[in-house]
Structure 1
Amino acid sequence: MIRLFASASLAALTLLASTSAMAGKVMDKINERGQLAACIKLDYRPFGYRAPNGDQVGLEHDLVADLAKRLGQKFNKPITVEKISVIAANRVQFVQQGKCDVLIGTMTDNAERRKVINIVQPNYYSSGITVIARKSTPIKTWDDIRGKKLCVSQGAFWNKEYQRRYDLDLQAFAGIAEAGQALQDGRCIGNLTDDALAASRLLDTATWGDFEIKLPVQDREPWGVATQYGDDEFAGFLSSAVTAWHREGTLIALEKKWELQPTAFVKEMQEKYKNAK
């Protein structure tokens, strides 16, 4: 028992020392290599996707570019971006493992994720849960999906809770594109997803013209920019950048650019931070 306690204590101290050693190092590494490593998504139009010419684009790609610009101003030299593609199922682990300096990947800010990664404040966007299905599918209320087969993406935080709440038969797929394709193929009656993705899909009338958002949004939650714990300087830089996005109306402009419906969250945050430094 004493030996076990000593081993556990040593492991805890080692972890603490490792975390402390990270403090203040991320900014130095970015400066040294002249590059920001960003975990970002390519399966979530218009926040992150590949354009027909192969370019990686989207609202969150614009935000990462803005971070690089601010770092360049800080270091007085150009800072490029290395993009590491993530999906819902691996984005948190990639941050934990240090595969990127920062994550901007349509990630909901919640208590479980805060236990393992540093989600900086303020949050930058928000979304809630809904169902997208064919217009002909008889879904009018949330109770109408009870016991039904719905497609979902692996790693979505709402899967377990909604399965319990509505006794759902969830068909989980590796990513957003796969879940969407399964819905179109008729392998489920609807896709349980967030309203931001659902609304953006419907912009593509050629592919999604027979579909619609079926249910009022529930459980609206904010999205956060994340990094590893242990570097207060870099976390502070990220926090200042997100604050500036709200203060300067950056997110309002990007919603317009990417043809997203203006959200109450972004408007409220712009008002809240318009006088912030």
Structure 2
Amino acid sequence: MKMLKSTVGALALTAVTATTGIAQDDVQNNRFVEVMERGVLRVGVQGAFRPWAFRSPDGDLQGIEVDLAQTVADRMGVELETVQISSANRMEFLQQGKVDLLIGAMSDRPDRRKVVGIVEPAYWTSGPTLMAKEGVISSWDDIAGKPVCGKQGVFYNKIAEVEFKANVVAFGGNTEAKEALRSGKCVAWVYDDTSIAADLASGDWEGYEMPVETVFSNPWGAAVPLEEKDGIWGAFMSGMAYKWHEEGTLIELEEKWGVKPSPWLAGMHEKLQYDDSYLEN
């Protein structure tokens, strides 16, 4: 079995190096080969971020990013092992080799590009906003000097604190932060507009609203180990990200998981369509 996996890995390496132009001698110890020989792809995903990655009633991880991870495993012909990560430890898990790949709702920022290899193109985009009881908040200025719930490790907290002078109370997970909002410990919860929109659409947050616009649009990127960003593993994952857009995978997952259609995703899908009009001439 080990010899078979090694042979499969070698054949896959030859095929991918032929299509990427990366020298085979440069990638003998590449993560792509390791995954092929292991027969298992370990992907770090969030565990309480509905509908991107969260636990089903039977305890399995499910959601948009789990489905994306499955497309990578399927394309490689290996099994998928999802590993629950958090915003605070996800890059550390990748650096330490606990996962091969991150698809964990991670925004693409310059400081993170120094730590992990963020793949282009981005596969999603979002922005910071607030969820609050109806009528409590009408503008970002309304949170100045007031307690606002946040999740540990999320840089939106700093925006709320520095730009809007809020007193952010950070919790270990989204569930704890939102329950603190329900109990009145905070006037609002600061987080991604995508996640808050999904919560409001779930029917579990009657009487709450998303009262302010996002401050900016923030791309999300999958990530490989930093040293492999420009190697075969990074090139392969970049190709996967392009395919997610080109083939409409992300738009299909929006519909499957009940996420409001994103103009950005629709635009990326249209932009990356193959132009075969010249064949008619």
* TM-score of Structure 1 vs Structure 2, range by shorter chain: 0.7 to 0.9
Q: Which residue of 2 aligns with 1:177?
A: 175
What is the Cα deviation at residue 24 of structure 1? 4.5
Q: Matched residue of 1:219: which SS?
A: coil
Report Cα offsets for 1:194-250 as digits up to 9, x if no partner.
Answer: 101101111221x21121111111111100000102221001010000100100011
Q: Give, in whole Å, the separation in 2 of the partners of 1:178 and 1:90.
A: 18
Paired position in structure 1 for 2:222: 225
Equivalent position SS for 1:251: helix
Question: For the Cα contact (< 8 Å) 2:160–2:168, is it kept in 1?
Answer: no
What is the aligned residue count?
250
Are 2:101 and 1:102 aligned?
yes
Percentage of identical aligned residues: 37
Please list the CA deviations of residues 122-172 of structure 1 after superposition, one character each: whole Å capped at 9, or x if unmatched. 0000001110011142x1111111221100001112222321111111100
- 1:22 is displaced (CA, Å) by 7.7
Task: State the SS of the aligned residue for 2:191.
Answer: strand
Question: Does the residue aligned with 1:159 lie in a helix, a strand or coil?
Answer: helix
> 1:188 Cα shift?
0.4
For 1:89-138, what per-residue CA distance to the aligned partner results, in whole angstroms no more than 9, with x for missing partners? 1112111222100000111111111111000100000001110011142x
Three-state SS of the structure 2 residue aligned to 1:218 is coil
Runs of 4+ in structure 1 off by over 3 angstroms are 20-24
- 1:133/1:190 contact within 8 Å kept: yes
Find the counterpart in structure 2 of residue 16 from structure 1.
none
Q: Secondary structure at the match of 1:130?
A: strand
In the superposition, relative to structure 1, how do residues 115 and 22 fare at CA in structure 2: closer, same or farther (>3 Å)? farther
Tell me how far apart the structure 1 counterparts of residues 93 and 214 of structure 2 sit (CA, whole Å).
Answer: 29
Paired residues of 2:27 and 2:232 also in contact (CA < 8 A): no
1:64 counterpart residue number: 69
Measured on the aligned residues, the alpha-carbon RMSD in Å equals 1.8
Alpha-carbon distance in 1 for matches of 2:209, 2:28 = 47
Deviates more, 1:156-165 or 1:30-39: 156-165
Q: Note the alpha carbon deviations across 1:72-94, whole angstroms, 9 max, x for none.
A: 1xxxxxx1111110111111211
**1: CA distance between counterparts of 2:79 and 2:184?**
43
Matched residue SS, 1:166: coil
Partner Cα distance (2:28, 2:177) in 1: 39
Letter matched to residue 102 of structure 1: L
**C-alpha distance in structure 2 between counterparts of 1:37 and 1:157, whole Å:** 26
- 1:255 partner letter: E
Offset, 1:54: 2.2
Residue 35 (str. 1) matches residue 40 (str. 2): yes
Residue 15 of structure 1 is matched in structure 2 by none
Give the match for residue 215 of structure 1.
Answer: 212
1:145 to 125, 143, 146: 143
Aligned equivalents of 2:27 and 2:236: distance in 1? 15
Q: Which runs of 5+ in 2 are unaligned?
A: 1-24, 276-281
Are residues 187 and 21 of structure 1, via their aligned partners in 2, closer, same or farther at CA, if it must alter by over 3 Å? farther
- Which moves more between the two structures, 125-134 or 156-165? 156-165
Judging changes above 3 Å, is the alpha-carbon distance between structure 1 residues 186 and 31 closer, same or farther for their aligned structure 2 residues? same
Equivalent residue number for residue 112 of structure 1: 111
Hey, what's the Cα distance between the residues in 2 that align with 1:254 and 1:211?
26
CA–CA distance in structure 2, aligned partners of residues 210 and 127 of structure 1? 23
Structure 1 gaps of 5+ residues are 1-19, 73-78
Aligned partner letter, 1:134: K
State the match for 2:192 in structure 1: 194
User: TM-score normalised to the size of structure 1?
Assistant: 0.86
Matched-pair contact (CA < 8 Å) for 1:24–1:234? no
TM-score by length of 2: 0.85
Counterparts of 2:184 and 2:92, CA distance in 1: 32
CA distance in 1 between counterparts of 2:27 and 2:130 reads: 42
Letter in 2 for 1:264: P
Cα distance in 2 for partners of 1:161, 1:254 equals: 30
* Aligned counterpart, 1:46: 51
* Partner residue of 2:60 out of 55, 61, 81: 55
Instruction: Report the Cα offset of residue 37 of structure 1.
Output: 0.7
